């Protein structure tokens, strides 16, 4: 089991590098370039939010899984902007996929490589829908921005006219119509599609919420969107650590949603103290109010479903929630180990505090993970 976890964490730590791959898109507030990890989170959230628009026969979990994985190859190959020639990108990405998925245990690596290849081919119903979402996300990242860059608007127009989104009218007419109307400054009519799009535009703000934890290389603080992607990837890779009754698809969906409330409340470090401590009544009330507002942006039935997932995660009463919570505690521990102590140093954390605040939660949902992780972080508290 130790060798398997060594391989799985080697992959997860390597995946952290996706947070440093810059894309051609910018955040919707125009403040900086988007990175490929937060894009992967956002487009997986698109799959969850637009599940009611998926063609008959598609499987939501497989689509989300493809989108969590689809850009990992950019760790080696870099981002390929949609308006530039391919120029050997396919070969570079195929080689990167072999290397990255080869870090995993052979059985798991082979399965995920096959899933990535299925996405790239785009022929199966699940891959075709995942491709549509991946193609739509950057379009609306521009078109829903308050002040989109004119050159980016032109790229969107060209993409819809002759690029990879040219057949969007056949693949997803509602998205094509919404994009076309925005290009021509036509005010969108109220609809479920527009409400979901508004929710997803609001979610973009999570990319600007900074956490206490740094990236594995210590170069900067992680943000809550890329954390949400990474932690959903943790659930996928560490699914064999889940106990009886855990539904991995549900755990992943919870983790995609779990930090959205930080758009209003901000990150609350697990090692903070006082009236703004992670478990304080003040913070819990503020997060509940944020959840009511953010999920209230969605059509009623979908909003209630996703709000219910968030509440299930917060309640920590089901096997799927307990497993998701355990991963949400493990990931910062591994980040701190990689960067030499990280937030433990910043917050003067003792090993007893780590056991109480982190170990107990991890042990509740994935006891073998805490046994593995505990042994590797003790050296930082001698």
Q: How confident is the model at residue 279 (pLDDT cuts 50, 70, 90)?
A: low
Query: Percent of the chain having pLDDT more than 70?
Result: 96
Between CA 132 and CA 164 the distance in angstroms is 10
Question: What is the architecture of the domain spanning 20-205?
Answer: Orthogonal Bundle (1.10)
* Domain positions in the chain: 20-205, 209-381
Residue-level pLDDT at 80? 78
Q: Report which of 158, 10, 145, 188 is spatially closest to residue 84, judged by C-alpha positions.
A: 158
Residue 288 has pLDDT above 50, yes or no: yes
Contact assessment for residue 209 and residue 262, using Cβ atoms and an 8 Å cutoff: yes
- Say how many CA atoms lie within 13 Å of 199 toward its Cβ: 31
Residue-level pLDDT at 278? 62
Q: Do domains 20-205 and 209-381 have the same CATH topology?
A: yes
Across the range 166-187, mean pLDDT stands at 95
Q: Which is more confident, 119 or 83?
A: 119
Helices 319-338 and 248-257 meet at what angle, rounded to 10? 60
> Going by CATH, does the domain composed of 209-381 fall within 3.90.1150.10?
no
Query: Which residues, 6 or more positions from 295, have their beta carbon under 8 angstroms from its beta carbon?
Result: 199, 303, 304, 306, 307, 310
117 CA to centre of own chain:
20
Task: Give one DSSP letter per residue of 121-135, joined into a string.
Answer: HT-SHHHHHHHHHHH
Task: Give one DSSP letter per residue of 310-358, joined into a string.
Answer: HHHHHHT-SHHHHHHHHHHHHHHHHHHHHTTSHHHHHTT--HHHHIIII
Q: How confident is the model at residue 275 (pLDDT cuts 50, 70, 90)?
A: very low
Across the range 242-246, mean pLDDT stands at 97
Q: Say if strands 33-35 and 22-26 run parallel, antiparallel, or are unpaired.
A: antiparallel
SS3 content of the chain, % helix, strand, coil (to 5): 70, 5, 25
Q: Which is more confident, 81 or 111?
A: 111
112-165 residue pLDDT tens: 999 999 999 999 999 999 999 999 999 999 999 989 999 999 999 999 999 889
181-238 residue pLDDT tens: 999 999 999 999 999 999 999 999 999 999 999 999 999 999 999 999 999 999 999 9
Q: What is the largest CA-CA distance in the chain?
A: 64
The pTM for the full model equals 0.96
């Amino acid at each position: 089991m130790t060798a398997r976890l060594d391989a799985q964490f080697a992959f997860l730590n390597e995946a952290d590098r996706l947070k440093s791959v810059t894309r051609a898109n910018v955040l919707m507030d125009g403040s900086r370039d988007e990175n490929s990890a937060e894009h992967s989170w956002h487009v997986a959230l698109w799959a969850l939010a637009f599940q009611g628009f998926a063609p008959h026969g598609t499987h939501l979990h497989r689509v989300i899984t493809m989108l969590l994985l689809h850009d990992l190859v950019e760790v080696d190959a870099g981002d390929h902007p949609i308006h530039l020639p391919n120029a050997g990108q396919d070969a570079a990405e195929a080689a990167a996929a072999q290397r990255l998925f080869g870090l995993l245990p052979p059985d798991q690596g082979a399965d995920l490589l096959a899933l990535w290849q299925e996405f790239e081919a785009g022929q199966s119903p699940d891959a075709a829908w995942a491709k549509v979402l991946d193609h739509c996300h950057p379009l609306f990242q521009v078109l829903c921005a308050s002040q989109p860059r004119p050159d980016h608007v032109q790229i969107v127009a060209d993409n819809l006219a002759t690029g990879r989104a040219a057949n969007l009218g056949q693949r997803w007419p509602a998205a094509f119509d919404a994009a076309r109307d925005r290009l021509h400054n036509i005010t969108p009519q109220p609809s479920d599609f527009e409400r979901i799009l508004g929710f997803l535009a609001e979610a973009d703000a999570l990319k600007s919420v900074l956490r206490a934890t740094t990236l594995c290389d210590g170069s900067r603080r992680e943000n809550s969107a890329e954390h949400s992607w990474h932690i959903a990837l943790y659930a996928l890779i560490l699914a064999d650590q889940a106990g009886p009754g855990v539904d991995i698809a549900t755990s992943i969906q919870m983790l995609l949603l779990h930090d959205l409330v930080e758009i209003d409340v901000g990150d609350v470090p697990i090692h903070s103290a006082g009236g703004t401590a992670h478990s304080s009544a003040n913070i819990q009330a503020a997060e509940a109010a944020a959840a009511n507002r953010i999920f209230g942006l969605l059509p009623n039935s979908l909003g209630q479903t996703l709000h219910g997932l968030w509440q299930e995660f917060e309640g920590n009463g089901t096997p799927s929630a307990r497993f998701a919570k355990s991963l949400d505690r493990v990931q910062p521990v591994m980040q701190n180990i990689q960067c030499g102590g990280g937030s433990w140093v910043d917050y003067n954390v003792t090993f007893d505090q780590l056991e109480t605040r982190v170990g107990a939660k991890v042990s509740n949902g994935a006891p073998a993970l805490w046994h593995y992780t505990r042994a590797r972080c003790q050296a930082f508290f001698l």
